[in-house]
Amino acid sequence: MRITWTTDDKSAPSIVEYGAAPGQYSSVVGGESTSYSFLFYSSGQIHHTVIGPLEYDTVYFYRCGGQGPEFQFKTPPAQFPVTFAVAGDLGQTGWTQSTLDHIDKCKYDVHLLPGDLSYADYKQHHWDTFGELVQPLASARPWMVTEGNHEEEKIPLLEDAFQSYNARWKMPFEESGSSSNLYYSFEVAGVHVVMLGSYTDYDKYSDQYSWLKADLLKVDRNRTPWLVVLFHVPWYNSNYAHQGEGDGMMAAMEPLLYAADVDIVIAGHVHAYERSKRIYNGISDPCGPVHITIGDGGNREGLAHKYKNPPPEWSVFREASFGHGELKIVNSTHAFWSWHRNDDDEPVKSDEVWITSLISSGCPVKKNHNLSEILLEP
Ligand SMILES: [Fe+2]
């Protein structure tokens, strides 16, 4: 587990003390730290310390930098069931707080965030306040994120893209063979999760494309029967907001995901909720992924209310309300997805569906052999 925190003191040590009982730290680990400047802003010291090995499904107590408050977090289970909380486009408004309060009330193991975190939008101190806002949750469970447009913060000739995001939200990209923090993968309790980047090159000749192909080929469906992919800009979206923005990435990468039998694709960007049938190449396909858009975490831009009518044949459920999702992978064959509005009490499910894993459906053998070859092309 990587622990990240920021200190005003540039010389503060990057150590984490931790143990399985409050106040009793049996282990101490040193890490690394970094900082960045953006226009007139200088960040604090940003510390990253990887601790472990850790036991599965265990609560650990820890302290950062040799002083300060004690935090606790729970590691994910080794096996099914495992539950993911999902919310994109968070921002830092009263709506965000409501989403976080709802997520805090659900029993989950890992948080998945398909992009658009702080909405700092060049105002760097908003990255600090965002960290403070999410700390109660992000200090207690793994938060696995990928980047959205609001992370880019590029100023031509002055500031490189993704400086703050890469400095503060370091994900296990090196561990998954990626050369960029903007795309990576990880495995947890029988699920292989791929985090892609909508705002970095994705064409056939890009590093991301080659990495994705190699990563998908490495997936062992005996060890991880479920394959889930996240990125920011949705490919299947019947809202007028951001219509067609995902088309280029979809044209490049959808055949790879289909050939690899991806079960579920989760995106954000559109500030609303939508769930598709299993789909591939624009039409329902029992062997394609279910696509979910969940960019309704609560940012200051508000909701996206305008939908195309009539709804496309593939769109099962769509609504512009703030909320979050829960993906409970029950076993190797069944998962339960639910969407929860902030307007309702947390246990109320506004949309729910059982999803059967593709590897238990016979899809891999039914698929066109030529299509699978796309993964093996040099
Ligand atoms: Fe976005």
Structural tokens at position 307: 């939908």
- Distance of CA 165 from the midpoint of ligand 1 (Å): 14
Distance from C-alpha of 30 to C-alpha of 350, rounded to nearest angstrom: 45
- Distance of CA 162 from the midpoint of ligand 1 (Å): 14
- Distance of CA 150 from the midpoint of ligand 1 (Å): 6
159: DSSP letter: B
Percent of the chain with pLDDT over 70: 99
**Is pLDDT at 369 greater than 70 in this prediction?**
no
Distance from C-alpha of 1 to C-alpha of 7, rounded to nearest angstrom: 20
- pLDDT for position 368: 67
Residues, Cβ < 5 Å to ion ligand 1: 116, 148-149, 269
Nearest to 214 by CA among 206, 226, 223, 224: 206
- Distance of CA 71 from the midpoint of ligand 1 (Å): 31
Ordered DSSP codes for 297-313: S--TT-----B-SSPPT
**pLDDT band with cut points at 50, 70 and 90 for residue 363:** confident
**Is pLDDT at 372 greater than 90 in this prediction?**
no
Q: Do domains 2-71 and 77-373 have the same CATH topology?
A: no
**pLDDT band with cut points at 50, 70 and 90 for residue 374:** confident
Q: Is residue 25 a contact partner of residue 62, using CB atoms and an 8 Å limit?
A: yes
- Distance of CA 270 from the midpoint of ligand 1 (Å): 7
Ordered DSSP codes for 224-242: --EEEEE-SS-SS--BSTT
Please name the residues in contact with 158: beta carbons below 8 A apart, sequence gap of 6 or more: 39
Give the CATH number of domain 77-373; options: 2.30.110.20, 3.30.70.141, 3.60.21.10, 3.30.413.10. 3.60.21.10
Please, what's the b/e burial string for 348-364 (b: 16 or more CB within 10 A of its CB; e: otherwise)? eeebeeebebbbebebe
Whole-angstrom Cα Rg for the chain: 20
pLDDT tens-digit series, residues 22-46: 999 999 999 999 999 999 999 999 9
CATH 2.60.40.380 given to domain 2-71: yes
- Distance of CA 267 from the midpoint of ligand 1 (Å): 10
- Distance of CA 90 from the midpoint of ligand 1 (Å): 10
pLDDT tens-digit series, residues 101-132: 999 999 999 999 999 999 999 999 999 999 99
- Distance of CA 78 from the midpoint of ligand 1 (Å): 33
- Distance of CA 233 from the midpoint of ligand 1 (Å): 7
Judged by DSSP in three states, 188 sits in strand
- Distance of CA 230 from the midpoint of ligand 1 (Å): 13
**pLDDT band with cut points at 50, 70 and 90 for residue 362:** confident
**Is pLDDT at 370 greater than 80 in this prediction?**
no
- pLDDT for position 320: 98
Q: What is the pTM of this model?
A: 0.97
Please name the residues in contact with 157: beta carbons below 8 A apart, sequence gap of 6 or more: none
Please name the residues in contact with 54: beta carbons below 8 A apart, sequence gap of 6 or more: 1, 60, 75
**pLDDT band with cut points at 50, 70 and 90 for residue 375:** confident
- Distance of CA 183 from the midpoint of ligand 1 (Å): 16
- pLDDT for position 371: 66
- pLDDT for position 367: 76
Distance from C-alpha of 252 to C-alpha of 59, rounded to nearest angstrom: 42
Average confidence score pLDDT of the chain: 97
- pLDDT for position 343: 96
**Is pLDDT at 133 greater than 90 in this prediction?**
yes
Task: Report domain extents, the chain.
Answer: 2-71, 77-373
Structural tokens at position 250: 């979809």
Active site residues: 242
